[in-house]
Amino acid sequence: MTYLMSMLLFGLVLGLVAVASNPSPYFAALGLVVVAGMGCGVMVSYGGPFLSLVLFLIYLGGMLVVFAYSAALAAEPYPESWGNWSVAVYGMSYTGAVALMSLLFCNGWSKYSWVPVDELTELSLTRGDTMGVAAMYSSGGWMLIISAWVLLLTLLVVLELTRGLNRGALRVA
């Protein structure tokens, strides 16, 4: 389990470095999806699979809207990728800064903090997130429906703004 958590946290930090070092919205959106997947994997390992699934689906819906909007407004025909020299220098410097900070502040706190929720109790009959599922559907169900409608409305507005060659309001010629 420690190896799985190490890989998920390493992927999370690597995705954050990819988002921070890349100026192009295409590749930054891909990095954000990787970060969302790794973060939800960490939450699943700590005992919250339903919350992780809901967060991942809502986050991917929001990222679809942001990606469509930023890709439509990007005026560069050949965006910079992770292989370009300037992006690689930023990525290496961010990775070096993360490694330096982890060496400075790593004083053994991580030895005992990677135990999943399901391994903490003996003879447990319920999982850690079952009460959250009931609360989300009983008192928070309307908020889920409203957030889904808001994401759909935002997607339609973004698609309407960026439709056509010269019909959109914010289109770059």
Q: For position 18, which CATH number holds?
A: 1.20.120
Specify if 122 maps to a domain: no
User: How many CB atoms are closer than 10 A to CB 63?
Assistant: 15
What is the Cα 12 distance to its own chain's centre?
9
- 80 or 75, which is more confident: 80
Specify if 96 maps to a domain: yes
pLDDT recorded at residue 165: 57
Specify if 103 maps to a domain: yes
- Rounded Cα distance, 31 and 144, in Å: 26
4-13, 38-47, 163-172: least confidently modelled range: 163-172
- 94 or 117, which is more confident: 94
Q: Who contacts 63 (Cβ-Cβ below 8 Å, separation ≥6)?
A: 29, 32, 33, 36
Mean pLDDT of the chain: 75
For the segment 8-24, the average pLDDT, to the nearest whole number, is 85
Each as own residue / partner, the long-range contacts of residues 113-117 (CB below 8 Å, 24 or more positions apart, any chain) are 114/1, 114/2, 114/5, 116/1, 116/45, 116/46, 116/47, 117/46, 117/47, 117/48
pTM above 0.75, yes or no: no
pLDDT tens, position by position, 79-91: 777 778 888 888 8
pLDDT recorded at residue 87: 83
Specify if 49 maps to a domain: yes
Specify if 168 maps to a domain: no
- Rounded Cα distance, 149 and 160, in Å: 16
pLDDT recorded at residue 93: 92
pLDDT recorded at residue 133: 66
Q: Which residue range(s) make up the domain with 92?
A: 2-116+127-161
State the total domains in the chain.
1
Does residue 95 have a pLDDT over 80?
A: yes
Among 68, 69, 43, 65, smallest CA distance to 56 is for 43
21-25, 148-152, 169-173: least confidently modelled range: 169-173
Specify if 121 maps to a domain: no
- pLDDT class for 78, splitting at 50, 70, 90? confident
Does residue 139 have a pLDDT over 80?
A: no
Q: Who contacts 91 (Cβ-Cβ below 8 Å, separation ≥6)?
A: 17, 18, 21, 22, 82
Specify if 170 maps to a domain: no
* Helix, strand, or coil (residue 76): coil
51 neighbors 132 (Cβ within 8 angstroms): yes
Specify if 24 maps to a domain: yes
Report the residue count for the chain: 173
pLDDT recorded at residue 168: 47
